[in-house]
Chains A and B, each alone.
Chain A
Amino acid sequence: MRVAGAILALAAALALQTTLAGLTSGASAVNLALVAVIYLALAFGPAAGLMAGTVGGLVQDALAGGIVGVGGFAKTLVGFVIGVLGAQFIVAQSLPRLIMFVSGTLMHELCYQALYAIVEARAFRMHWSAALIQAAVNGIIGVLAFAVVESGPGLLQRRRARGATLSRRHY
């Protein structure tokens, strides 16, 4: 169930990411696949994080048409590191989670750009403004995703309970 949910979340993030990339020309301000990877790493640990990073990164690379493996490498690294950090520290609050998403996104960008610099044998270049914006957006989306997922079961219970009360009133 957990694995199916993780795969579904990853697939949804990738689909949404490609859709967004089609809608917005140029660099995207959000990386939903990365958000999903960091989320899974924080929620399920380093193993889940690295597997999600591998699968998500490879699929994203394949869809993007670049060198397959660069994104996978970066996302695997981020998924594993964030998973380990999430297992070591308490990240149940929004602020730590935001920090994790932001730092994960920056780490991903650093690794991604460094790998491309090595592969293409060019100097390392980092668009810090775009990276920071993406980190902030990813952090916000990630924190919101946590809030939605964690408040989801309680909300459903409250709605069911409210529905039952209204039915008795009708009688």
Chain B
Amino acid sequence: MLETQPRTPYRPRTGYLFGGVMIFHLILISAQVQSRAGVPVLESVTFGVFSRLQGAVASAIRGVTGTWTNYVGLRHAQTENESLRKQVGDLEVRLQEQRALAARAAQLESLLKLRESTSLPTVAAEVIAGNPNPGLLTVTVNRGSADGVQPDMAVIAPKGIVGRVIGPVAARAARVQLLIDQAAAIGAVTERMRAGGLVVGAEIDGRPGLRMDFVSNLADVVAGDAVVASGVDGIYPKGFVIGTVEKSERGKQLHRAITITPAVDFSSIEEVLIVLVPARGAVTEETTDSKREDPK
């Protein structure tokens, strides 16, 4: 019955079987043997191994969960970021609109105050266009002959004199020559010492500005003096502000060299008042003819 048979050659499968059986024996022994702590070795080893395994699994799950959470959070953050950027853009636009409205309201308020404070008949006008010709400093307003506007009527703003209406005047629009135009002129006096002269448009340091001519070297004019309209030209109402003396130097001949800082910021005129008082012809002719030969 037990006669010798051809022996089974060693195969890897036998090695696996051997390993499995040996592990089984070790587990069996461990289940019966207690450690120094009084706990069965199998339980102790199993707990130790599984606690590490659990730790590794928990760590892996935490890592995956954390990565996923961060990824999802990042995606949400990106979407939220885009949404917030859009909101910020919209809010910036709205803020600019609100600022523009506030500025416009402030301008209209000051214009209204000016209108109420002056006894002159005026009509409010809105600047609707500039001048495409850089050599001429004029703007177009939305009031014309239909509103009673005529050439050589003074145009003022809350801070001071802007210029005058120049012809031709349309029914619903008129052209205004700014005071800083080199062809413009206005009779003026200094408010402090009443030194009279003629304020004309001039290029100062490469930029449009104002110059006061025909002021005697003997006159006491210093920087900071306010310059107002004298009213002698028959166009501009007396006492309205032109600007302040920026520099006043003794001239080489009889007259001082005076530069004036305009009271009005001509780069941002939006609302103006047109003084509906016709100019006194003779004076107007003098004023315009003295400076302008042919504006066109």
Contact = CB atoms under 8 A, between A and B. Distances in A.
Contacts of A6: 2
Interface string B174-197: 000000000000000000000000
Interface centre among B8, B18, B33, B36 (most CB of A within 10 A): B18
Chain A at the B interface: SS class: helix
Contacts of A29: none
A115 B25 CA distance: 11
Contacts of B59: none
A146 B11 CA distance: 25
B102 to A, nearest CB: 91
B8 A48 contact: yes
B29 interface: yes
Given A50-B18, A67-B32, A150 B4 contact: yes
B5 A115 contact: no
Given A48-B8, A87-B7, A149-B2, A67 B29 contact: yes
A86 to B, nearest CB: 6
B218 interface: no
A155 interface: no
Interface in B22-40: 22, 24-26, 28-29, 32-33, 36
B9 interface: yes
Contacts of B205: none
Contacts, number: 86
A152 B2 CA distance: 10
Contact of B10 (A42, A69, A87): A87
A123 B17 CA distance: 31
Interface in A122-159: 146, 149-150, 152-153
B2 A84 contact: no
A47 interface: yes
A50 B14 CA distance: 9
Interface in A75-96: 76-77, 80, 83-84, 86-88
In the complex, the 8 A-B pairs of residues with the closest C-beta atoms, listed nearest first: A45-B8, A69-B28, A73-B25, A69-B29, A5-B1, A45-B7, A47-B14, A5-B2
Interface of B: 1-5, 7-11, 14, 17-18, 21-22, 24-26, 28-29, 32-33, 36
Interface of A: 1-2, 4-6, 8-9, 39, 42-48, 50-51, 54, 67-70, 72-73, 76-77, 80, 83-84, 86-88, 115, 119, 121, 146, 149-150, 152-153
15 contacts: A1-B1, A39-B2, A45-B14, A46-B14, A46-B18, A54-B25, A67-B32, A69-B28, A72-B28, A73-B25, A76-B21, A83-B7, A87-B8, A119-B29, A146-B4
